[in-house]
Structure formats: C-alpha cells, structure tokens
Amino acid sequence: MTSKNKISFSPRGKRGVFFSGLRDGLPIGLGYLAVSFSLGIAAKNAGLSAFQGFLASLLTNASAGEYAIFTVIAANAGYLEAFFMTVVANARYLLMGCALSQKFHKDTPLFHRMLVGFDITDEVFGITIARPGVLDPYYTYGAMTSSIPFWACGTVLGIIMGNLLPLRVVSALSVALYGMFLAVIIPPVKTDRVIAVLVPICFALSFLFARIPVLASISEGTRTIILTIIIASAAAIFFPVKEEAENE
C-alpha cells in the first residue's frame, strides 16, 4: 500500500492497488473502444491488416501518434520521416513521464519506472497523477490492463468493419477521429487566449502550405513536422509560460 513516505510491494498490497487501477481504467477502456474504431479505419486506408493494426495499437498507445504514422505510411513516406513524425506527435509523453517520475518513491525499482513510462496515455496519466501520496506502479498497471486492450481491439474492429462497410460509410466514420481532436483542443481554447489564436493560425498555415507550389510538393508528413516546429517555437518565444502559472 502507499503512503506519503513509504511504498509496499507485498502481494496483498499489490493486489488491492492493482484492482483499484483496474476499476478506474475500465471506463477509459470503453471510451478507447469507440475512438480506436475510427483509428482502425485510418489503419485500413494505410494498408495494414487486422493483426498489424492490433499490434500497432497494443504497443503504441497514442491516438495522435498512431494516426500520424498511419498517414505517413499511406503516403509511402520514408523511415526517417516516419521517425520524426512519431517523435513530434508523441513528445508530450516525455513530459508526462517526467511528471510521474517525481511521484515515485525513491526505492521504486527502475523497471517499474520504465514500464509505467512506456505505456502511459493521456487518460491513464490523468487518473494516476491525481492520486494522493507517492505513486504505486501497480495502480497504473491495473489501469493499463483494463483500458489498453480495448484500444487494440477497437482498432481491429475498425479495420474489419472498414473492409465490410461501403466506402461512403467508411468515409463518414473517418470524421469521428477529427471530432476527437476537436474535443482535445476546444477546452483549452476556451480558457487560453494564446491557444485560441494559435489554433486558427495552424489551420490557415496548413491550408497555405498545401497550396503553395514549392511546399505542396513536400509530403504531408514533412509539412506537418515543419509547421509544428515553426508554430511551437514562435509560441514559446513570443508567449512564454510564466513560472508562477506553470507551478500552479
């Protein structure tokens, strides 16, 4: 069991904390099932089989990252481009891992730290970081066990149904993934003026990059990387986050 100063790895303590995470992760898993169905359609469009999509979602639990890499695969991009696209899309998980590392007890073994960091997702991070006291990795393991399989199975269902459903229906369902991204960006837009300005700028520049002759010849994945670096760097320079707000 956990406390502010001590963490126990006894079988009884591990079991109780694990089942607590299992319970809290189940609603997340049900949500993953719906979202990853649309991701499966994107995987189908990239030419992945049901097994390949299952393995990709089981080992890479990142909606934006997976969608980005499926887009790059569909565009027949090279390995280097796929690597940079994945790094950019999943960079936030490095920050999440650093935040969680501050909550581990000093006696927590390294392999627990690495396993938690490897399979962390936005939602699992949210329920984990909200727990009081030091972090017991078995809670996170429980949450991962009850949520991540839904993500992988939803991707498989999307690929299979994408093969069975008419093309028009598949195209309509693909819009659901964009709806998920809107659900991610709209809440901070309501509370942060800087983000509210940057979002339409991103849309406009993305549109222009796809229309300018020289830039249009560059693959979609590379254009996304260039835009991400330029806009993120400009925002960091002109609108830095104050230390007080960051601590809060």
Residue 144: the pLDDT is 92
Residue 8: the pLDDT is 47
Q: How far is CA 127 from CA 93, 109, 203, in A?
A: 15, 22, 31
Torsion angle of C-alpha atoms 152, 69, 198, 189, degrees rounded to 10: 0
Contact of 73 with 47, CB cutoff 8 Å:
yes
Q: pLDDT averaged over consecutive 10-residue blocks of the chain (248 residues)?
A: 47 78 86 80 86 88 80 80 78 79 85 86 82 86 91 89 68 60 70 84 86 75 75 83 53
For residue 226, the number of C-alpha atoms closer than 13 Å in the C-beta half-sphere is 12
User: What is the crossing angle of helices 11-45 and 137-164, to 10°?
Assistant: 20
Q: How far is CA 198 from CA 77, 177, 231, 239, in A?
A: 28, 21, 8, 11
CA angle 191–197–200, rounded 5-degree value: 115
Q: How far is CA 155 from CA 34, 44, 75, 158, in A?
A: 9, 9, 20, 5
Residue 145: the pLDDT is 92
Q: What letter would DSSP give residue 26?
A: H
Q: What letter would DSSP give residue 115?
A: H
Residue 73: the pLDDT is 83
| Domain range summary for the chain, segments of one domain joined by + | 11-185, 192-248
* pLDDT tens per residue, range 14-55: 888 899 989 988 888 887 887 788 788 888 888 888 899 899
